[in-house]
């Protein structure tokens, strides 16, 4: 399977089912959106993360996907995700091919995050915002699918016990809402027929 065929299969899969929305009675959550940026380089699919600067008031020094709170001028959450990606990475929103939406995710900072998957150029020509991005992490998709990098804990969140995910890639640890979004994305990837063989994974 080619990388383009993988992207097409993901697009078809995401468009065929409605994304689950957050329903937490009694809580008023602010809207936010992120982009899960994927790209091909040298025939290999990758996923991009950013590390937030240590000076930020919230989620400092954590890995995340480009995104943020929905502004008044954003017509939809997708507009938020694309605007934030352009502001944070310098990737022209017109060059992002949106494949679809993942399930909404609530955060402890009381946001409801709408995640979108989008293909960005694989040329690595970023212009990161120093105020929002301390480091850009590009990870081959096959590495994220390695079960050895995933650790799961259980903790009470919003009054219910939930699983917390931690992905460790080298010295980089991806956790929190970003890890939950990543988990959902990878679950969709593993459902693509022929994907495991294409990436050299064992069933």
pLDDT tens per residue across span 86-121:
999 999 999 999 999 999 998 878 888 999 999 999
CA 177 vs CA 19, 45, 69, 115: distances in Å: 16, 22, 14, 10
Could you give the CA distance from residue 63 to residue 37 in angstroms, rounded to a whole number? 13
* Sequence spans of domains, the chain: 3-144+176-195
Could you give the CA distance from residue 8 to residue 144 in angstroms, rounded to a whole number? 20
Q: Is the confidence at residue 19, as pLDDT, over 90?
A: no
pTM: 0.91
By CB atoms closer than 10 A (0-12, 13-18, 19+), residue 71 is exposed
Q: Is the confidence at residue 197, as pLDDT, over 70?
A: no
- Most confident among 3-7, 13-17, 20-24, 96-100 (mean pLDDT): 96-100
Query: How far is CA 135 from its chain centroid?
Result: 16
| DSSP code at position 66 | S
φ/ψ of residue 154, rounded to 5: -115, 135
How many residues does this entry show for the chain? 203
pLDDT at 1: 77
Q: Is the confidence at residue 203, as pLDDT, over 60?
A: no
Per mean pLDDT, which range of 96-105, 156-165, 180-189 is the poorest? 156-165
Q: Is the confidence at residue 196, as pLDDT, over 70?
A: no
φ/ψ of residue 52, rounded to 5: -75, 145
- Nearest Cα residue to 178 out of 164, 157, 158: 164
pLDDT at 199: 67
CATH architecture under which domain 3-144+176-195 falls: Alpha-Beta Complex (3.90)
Asked if residues 83 and 45 have their Cβ atoms less than 8 Å apart, the reply is no
């Amino acid at each position: 399977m080619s990388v383009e065929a993988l992207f097409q299969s993901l697009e078809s899969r995401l468009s065929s089912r409605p994304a689950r929305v957050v329903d937490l009675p009694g809580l008023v959550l602010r809207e936010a959106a992120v982009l899960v940026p994927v790209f091909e380089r040298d025939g290999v699919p990758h996923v991009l993360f950013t590390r937030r600067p240590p000076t930020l008031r919230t989620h400092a020094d954590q890995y995340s996907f480009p995104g943020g709170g929905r502004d008044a001028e954003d017509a939809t959450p997708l507009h938020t995700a694309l605007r934030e990606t352009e502001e944070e990475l310098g990737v022209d929103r017109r060059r992002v091919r949106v494949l679809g939406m993942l399930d909404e995710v609530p955060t402890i900072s009381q946001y409801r995050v709408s995640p979108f998957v989008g293909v960005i150029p694989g040329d690595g020509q970023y212009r990161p915002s120093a105020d929002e991005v301390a480091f850009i992490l590009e990870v081959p998709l096959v590495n994220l699918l390695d079960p050895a990098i995933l650790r799961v804990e259980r903790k009470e969140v919003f009054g219910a016990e939930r699983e917390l995910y931690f992905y460790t890639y080298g010295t980089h640890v991806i956790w929190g809402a970003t890890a939950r979004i990543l988990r959902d994305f990878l679950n969709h990837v593993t459902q693509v027929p022929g994907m495991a063989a294409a990436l050299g994974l064992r069933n």
